[in-house]
């Protein structure tokens, strides 16, 4: 059937609306394996700002440069539980930690956003510290964030540090454990840690990165077919029939 014949016999289809699931396209295997995480630091319910003054009076660079060097050294590093358990300092400890699940787009039980809050204490009146957060499974942890320097005050329960984490890519849906390391900002020595063995809140977290989330979108498909005089006649007949039905009901 040629185009002209098709146009003569095809009735007018004005609009069709179709709702269908649309999955987000996964990144390439190389991009999917690259672990990316976005973190927002909070303290006292406000965004936390990195102090400009160095923790140590003997430091020759400002705190921002020091933080960048720590990130280069510690970020994207891996370690096993055996390596963590060797470190201990009785002058510092992580009193408690809490995890809140925030975002699960596809409702599969695996979250791409979560909030970690932890309260670190010390025997000193105050001490400058920073933390490294790891995510892992089967006893192997990969670091995902190096925090800014922040002060802790004795055993004050109100000086907790909060991290809002968004897993962007590289984390397939599964159960992960969290590991928190606490470092002395004066010496850069590891002084305390907390993991799933120490705190059940850090154990078996159902997580996945955003590139594994499955999205549903409403897609509108518009189809317009012009059928010439035959199509217009069909439309007119349908309109007359509709008016006739309404007239009878009256």
Q: What digits encode the pLDDT tens for the residues 96-120? A: 999 999 989 999 999 999 999 999 9
CATH class of 29-212: mainly beta
**What is the torsion angle, in degrees rounded to the nearest 10, for the CA atoms of residue 61, residue 65, residue 69 and residue 74?**
120
* pLDDT value, residue 3: 44
Q: What is the pLDDT of residues 191-249, one digit of tens each?
A: 999 999 899 999 999 999 999 988 665 555 555 555 555 566 666 666 666 665 445 54
The whole-number pLDDT of residue 238 equals: 65
Question: Residue 66 has what pLDDT?
Answer: 87
Q: What is the model's pLDDT at position 239?
A: 65
Give the residue-averaged pLDDT of 63-88.
Answer: 80
Q: How many other C-beta atoms lie within 10 A of the C-beta of residue 111? A: 21
- Rounded to the nearest angstrom, the gap between the alpha carbon of residue 223 and the centroid of all alpha carbons in its chain is 38
Tell me what pLDDT residue 200 has. 96
pTM of the model: 0.72
Give yes or no for a contact between 108 and 173, defined as CB atoms under 8 angstroms apart.
Answer: yes
Q: Which of 129, 165, 161 is nearest to 145 (CA)?
A: 165
Percent of the chain with pLDDT over 90: 52
Band (pLDDT 50/70/90 cuts) for residue 11 is very low
Specify the pLDDT at position 227: 53
The DSSP bridge partners found for residue 180 are: 133, 194
Above 50 in pLDDT, residue 7?
A: no
The residue ranges of every structural domain in the chain are: 29-212
């Amino acid at each position: 059937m040629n185009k002209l014949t098709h146009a003569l016999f095809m009735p007018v289809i004005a609009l069709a609306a179709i709702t269908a699931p649309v999955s987000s396209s996964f990144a390439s295997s190389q991009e999917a394996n690259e672990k990316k995480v976005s973190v927002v630091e909070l303290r006292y319910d406000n965004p936390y700002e990195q102090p400009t003054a160095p923790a140590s009076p003997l430091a020759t660079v400002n705190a921002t440069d020091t933080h960048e060097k720590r990130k280069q050294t510690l970020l994207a590093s891996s370690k096993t539980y055996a390596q963590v358990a060797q470190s201990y300092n009785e002058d510092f400890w992580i009193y408690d930690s809490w995890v809140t699940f925030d975002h699960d787009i596809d409702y599969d039980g695996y979250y791409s956003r979560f909030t970690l809050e932890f309260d670190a204490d010390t025997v000193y009146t105050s001490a400058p510290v920073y933390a490294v957060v790891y995510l892992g499974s089967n006893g192997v942890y990969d670091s995902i964030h190096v925090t800014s320097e922040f002060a802790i005050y004795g055993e004050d329960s109100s000086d907790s540090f909060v991290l809002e984490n968004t897993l962007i890519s590289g984390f397939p849906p599964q159960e992960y454990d969290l590991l928190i390391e606490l470092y002395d900002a004066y010496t850069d020595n590891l002084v305390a840690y907390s993991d799933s063995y120490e705190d059940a809140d850090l154990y078996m977290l159902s997580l996945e990165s955003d590139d594994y989330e499955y999205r549903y979108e409403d897609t509108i498909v518009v189809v317009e077919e012009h059928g010439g005089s035959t199509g217009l006649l069909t439309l007119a007949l349908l309109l007359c029939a509709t008016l006739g039905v309404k007239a009878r009901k009256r």
